[in-house]
Amino acid sequence: MTNCELLITNKGKNHIATKNKMGGFTLIELMVSMSIFMIVMIMALGALVNISNVAKKSRALHQAMDNVNFAMESMTRSLRTGSNYDCGSTDLSTQDTDDCPSGEDSISFISQNKGSTSNKDVAYELSNNGSLQKCVLNSFNSKECISMTSSNVKIENLQFYVTGSDPILDQIQPSVYISMKGSVSVGSEKTEFALQTFVSQRNSE
């Protein structure tokens, strides 16, 4: 073999070796890369699911607390414009009034829509299933009660403290202190809450 032929042969071998070095991934390298990619995708998907679940729970909790706050505000507005506070009673057939300095879980009164000579027509109470319940007289003059709080809200303690309810004997403005404690359940999580407010009758006696 001449020197020229040997040189050509060596160049060919070097060219083949260079091609082998510049070749694609091996099967093992491809499998490892795919495995890493799948692990990253699964972790990313899990993170997205967790974020979505947290957002849903946060939204549900916010809606439930809005419901509780709305119920409390609605009750205080109704009491503020009402009269003849009768603590510890949901009887809507009388004009009775009664203080309760030690607290009771119900109250009835005459609403703004009725005259002072009318019987009581609105009552609030803690129901047996742990909801804030409003009772009114319907068109048939019978008591009808509805729940003011959603099903995932459980009120564990509701207290009304009334002073100055008697429009004749008392010389102080009728007022009601309200305390409400309970919890909101969202999935398996429970969040406790406590609300207090003070209401003074708008119309002077």
Considering the domain boundaries, does residue 19 fall inside one? Answer: no
Tokens linked to 102: 């030690």
Considering the domain boundaries, does residue 64 fall inside one? Answer: yes
Considering the domain boundaries, does residue 69 fall inside one? Answer: yes
What lies within 8 Å, CB to CB, of 137 at 6+ separation is: 92, 121, 143, 144
Whole-model pTM? 0.72
Domain housing 84: 50-200
Number of structural domains, the chain? 1
Please list the pLDDT of the chain residue by residue as tens digits (205 residues): 554 444 445 555 555 444 445 556 687 878 888 888 888 888 888 888 788 777 788 888 889 999 999 999 999 999 999 999 999 999 998 889 999 999 999 999 998 877 666 788 899 999 999 999 999 988 788 889 999 999 999 999 999 999 998 877 777 899 999 999 999 998 888 999 999 999 999 876 5
